[in-house]
Amino acid sequence: MGGTSAERDVSIASGLRIAAALRSRGHDVTSLDTAHGAIDRAAENELLRAGVRQAPPDLESLAAMSRQSLSPSLGTLPAVRQAEVVFLALHGGQGEDGTLQALFDLCGVRYTGTGQLGSALAMDKDLSKRLFRDNGVQTAEWLMAPASVAEVESQVGFPVVVKPSKQGSTVGLTLVREPAGLDAAIAEAFRYDDEVMLEQFINGRELTVGILGDEALPIGEIIPKHELYDYECKYTKGMAVEEFPARLDAAVAAHIQDQARRAFRALKLRGYARIDFRLDDSGGCFCLEANTLPGMTELSLIPQAAAAAGIAFPELCERIVQLAITEGRT
């Protein structure tokens, strides 16, 4: 958990909750922050009290942490080498983009979730959307920066969502309504990534589908207090309403779940993931992205989807571990 991405705080909150859940099922769990090392129970309690801040950590502090990160030596740590399974609760950065997965593959360490290739594909939103289209999954139009105002107007239109191509939790994302704001939004997104996507804004309902093994969980609808489901709405209690299951016609719900399973397969995902959609006023369903290591905090979506399917959080965590074992990844 933890790490040095902009989603560090969320990752710690996810990891600590997972550790507590697995301990409640009788498992022996060691908590490990890839930026600083093992976390004892006293440190866990201190981190729990700190919680998730309303904004992500600043880039300067993350850069300082990355210089002392343990990532290169993770595969040699006794806590990792001796573990039956490493539960990955990292979000963004090298913990989710396939880098750490490749390291563990080389070291023969079994871990939860998607492997190296699928993780890399899902993290890169440009490649994801190309694979979605090739596999019959509808997605919003997009361009990659640099792009002129004229190109945006003719190919995508305003308003346009400007975001880092390989980032999560809406970090660095801006909804640009007028051409005058385009350059500043692109510059802000480039602070977090070396590639920036300019995506058609789909005005409509925000939906999400959790995939667990080969099962599509009940669809959820997110109704944020802000116009977009941004970082503050995701991780601040009371800033969004989530409905599980979403109020949808049965045929529409079945179609969206089918699209989620197609997206999961298209990106070669394994174990579990969360697939996000927008449903426009005419009933068009647009896949936005796949999250291979979705949030597992008290406010996160896939635990709520599992609960709607009758799966309590400790059972969800244990099932994710069992999937890692049965899939035979070593």
- pLDDT tens string for the chain (330 positions)? 998 888 888 899 999 999 999 999 999 999 999 888 888 888 888 887 776 666 666 666 666 666 656 667 888 888 899 999 999 999 988 899 999 999 999 999 999 999 999 999 999 999 999 999 999 999 999 999 999 999 999 999 999 999 998 876 567 899 999 999 999 999 999 998 899 999 999 999 999 999 999 899 999 999 977 666 666 666 677 778 899 999 999 999 999 999 999 999 999 999 999 999 999 999 999 999 999 999 999 889 999 999 999 999 999 999 999 999 998 554
The verdict on residue 226 lying in a domain is yes
Residue type, 4: T
- Domain span at 147: 142-200
The verdict on residue 80 lying in a domain is yes
Q: What angle is formed at CA 187 by the lines to CA 174 and CA 164, rounded to 5 degrees?
A: 55
Active site residues: 7, 169, 235, 274, 276, 289, 291, 295
Same domain for 153 and 105: no
Backbone angles phi, psi at 49, to 5 degrees: -65, -35
Alpha helices in 145-299 (DSSP H): 149-155, 182-190, 231-235, 250-266
Same domain for 134 and 245: yes
Number of domains, the chain: 3
Q: What angle is formed at CA 176 by the lines to CA 162 and CA 246, rounded to 5 degrees?
A: 75
Same domain for 133 and 274: yes
Same domain for 105 and 88: yes
Contact 263, 275 (CB under 8 A): yes
The verdict on residue 166 lying in a domain is yes
Same domain for 319 and 212: yes
Torsion over CA: 102, 104, 110, 111 (sign): negative
Same domain for 278 and 133: yes
